[in-house]
Structures are given as C-alpha cells and as structure tokens.
Structure 1
Amino acid sequence: MWIEWYSLNDRIYNLFIDPDWLMHPTELQLIQLARQVGGVAQQAQTAYQQAQAGLQLERLFTLESVATADGTRQALHTVAKLTELHQAHQQMFAKFVPAVMEQLAAAIATLPAEKVHEYQQGLVSTLNRTLAEQAEFYANRDRWIAAVREMFTIVDEHRDVISIEDGQLLFHDDDVIDRYEAAQQVINDIHAYEVAHMQEKMARAAASSAYLAALEKGATQ
C-alpha cells in the first residue's frame, strides 16, 4: 500500500519537530485503520501463498500430469483444491473490506471540515488502490485457475488425438492444440504479469508501512 499523500512528510516533521503541533484524535484512528488495511492485505497474500505452496502446483506442469488419465485426474483434483482455497480467501477478504471502509468513512466524518477533503483525496484513494490491487490479484487468479482447468480438461477429453513421443506432448488435431495453447497463453501471461508487478507492490507496501508507523509512533509519544 503506497501512500501518495504529500502532507505525510509535513505530519512527520510536525510530530517530531514542532512541539506546538497537535494531531486531531481521529487522525490517529485513521492511521491505525490504514495500517490495518495494509497489514491484512499483506497477511492475506502471505497466507494464500503458503497454503498454495502446500498444493505443490509445480507438479501440474509436468509430463506425468497429462501422460495418463490418472495423472490428469490428480491434476484436476489439485485444481479443485486450489479453487476451494482461492474462494475461501476471497470471501474472507470481501467480508473485511466493507467493515473497515465503513469505519474509515465514519472516522473521516468526525474530522474538521478542512481535513475531510484531504483525507478523502489522499488516504481513502490510496486505500482504494490497495483494495483494487488485491481484487485484481483475485480476478487474475480466477482466470489462471480457469485456464489450468481448461488445459487439463482438453487433455482428458481428447486423449485419442494426443500422444507422447520422446518426452513431448503431441497433438494430432489442430483445433485441440489451438485450444490447449490458448489456455497455456493465459497461464503464462498472468504469471508474467504477477512476477513483473510483485516487487513493485512489495516496495510500495514497505514504504507505506514505514510512513504510517512513524506517524503512529509520533502521535502516541
């Protein structure tokens, strides 16, 4: 979660340098709520990745998963388990978001009028982006799961036009291979997108967390 909120630097300066500057009591609550949102988003991502690792998804992309009907059934079973995991995490996050945003709106409403616009344009818009990024992750994961399921369903339903030679999966029907490769392309595109953006998102989250921690520390001293 990246705080594009230019007055944050001023607030940090005021908290630690200017003894006469006082933070409105509600601002501390807003900072704590912002940290909560960022923390929950990061925890959700970490928990998701840990649970996903337990499914050993790398086994889906081995020759064994398509070479035999039993291997493909096992692969589809793993995809079903991933779907359950994905939906559970998505539902938990969906329940959290309305509650915390309601608290945020209620807190902002108690601020002096001159501060309301500042927080709506700064903090709220930034939190909305954090939530949008998490929603994007879930949407991409929906597409990834659907594409993996499609890939194995194609193999399972068209095994009569598929063979394995010299460790390679060969298709003997152009329509079938086109569908298979289209599913693979979706999988590869989503993976490439996630890898490209992961480091950037982690850097934004770390910077935001440091800002908010400094503000909260100063406000409570």
Structure 2
Amino acid sequence: MAAKILLIALLALASSHALASDPSPLQDFCVADMDSKVRVNGFVCKDPTVVKAEDFFSTGLDKAGDTGKKLGSNVTAVNVNKIVGLNTLGISMVRIDYAPKGLNAPHTHPRATEILTVIEGQLFVGFVTSNSDNGNRLFTKMLKKGDVFVFPEGLIHFQFNPGHTNTVAIGALSSQNPGTITIANAVFGSKPPISDEVLAKAFQVDKKTIDWLQAQF
C-alpha cells in the first residue's frame, strides 16, 4: 500500500512538472494570429494555408543594441511577438549588449529557464535561490568568451560586465514568451506605487529613502 501511494505521488509530481512550462504542440506549427480578438493562453493559430516562410523568420541580431541607457545594457528579444511562428514551440532567444560596467539588473523570467553564452567580452553572472529551498543562496561565476551559464526558471539573476570593453551574449529561453520582471522596477516603479509604509517596513529603512528610490523609477 505504501509503495502504491509513493508511485501515485511520483506520477502526480511528474505530471505537474510537465505542465509547468509551455505546453507541447499538437500539430506541426501554430503560427500566432496577432489580429485575432480571441484570448487564450498563448495565441490563436493562423489558418495554415496562409502561413508563409516569413512567419518563421527575423533579422537584426547581428546589430548591437543601444547601451547608452542608465544601466549600460540592452536586451534584443526574439520571442513570439517578433517571430509569430514560435507560438506553441516553447523557445525564444535574446541578444544582450553590455557597455563597459554595464548591468542587466536583477530580474526573473517567470515562465522560462535561460541558458546564456558569452560571444564577446566577459560577464560576472549570478542567481539567488528561493527563500525555502536553499535559503537565498547566491551562485556566481565569471564568464569569458565561449562560456555558458544556466539561470533556473523563476529565480532572480543578473549579469554585469566588469571589463573596459563591450560584451555580447546570446541567451536561449524555454518559453515562446518568457516574460521579464526587473526587481527594482517592479518594487519601486509599480503603477500605482506600492505604499511607502509597506516598502519601508519590508526593507527596514525610513520612508524618505523609499520616496527617493521610487522617484528614480
């Protein structure tokens, strides 16, 4: 009896894990119909008889992104909003450009694991585990050209270029639309703003500090 209960529990765990990421496609492709008014989890399929090769195509990843922003980095995403043929295929990618001392600020992808490859330059990268599993343990690594690093799904992670030359990285993500939550933007730049009383207590600082931080976003 105990063995049967354990088997059921393992099957339930396996099935829940299978449903945790994008669902598997049930046909060759489901090119997103961005003009459809129907709302589903993903995008409605375009009529396959009008699908073109261009629905699976994009250009521009050879061009450097603008790193002249405050943080000195730029993310060029290639997801289902860029290539409609990615709909239901469970994959997307990004090009990230970093100026010297450029930072891709701490953020999460709520629907995807990311695997990152450094193409040029160097990066200091890291992620933080969840509160309960490993007590917010920090994993970091210095990467050079050709190195690869994985950021598990949903965990806060970052990349920083410590060098004096530009860095380029390519990332692949296990979702057609992984989403991005930049921690500082979400906490201090929400609309409407989170109460300064709540944030002051959460971060154990005074309200003036919170007001100043919110003003930056």
User: TM-score, structure 2 length as denominator?
Assistant: 0.19
Say which structure, 1 or 2, has more relative contact order (CA 8 Å, 6+ apart): 1
User: TM-score, structure 1 length as denominator?
Assistant: 0.18
**Higher fraction of strand:** 2
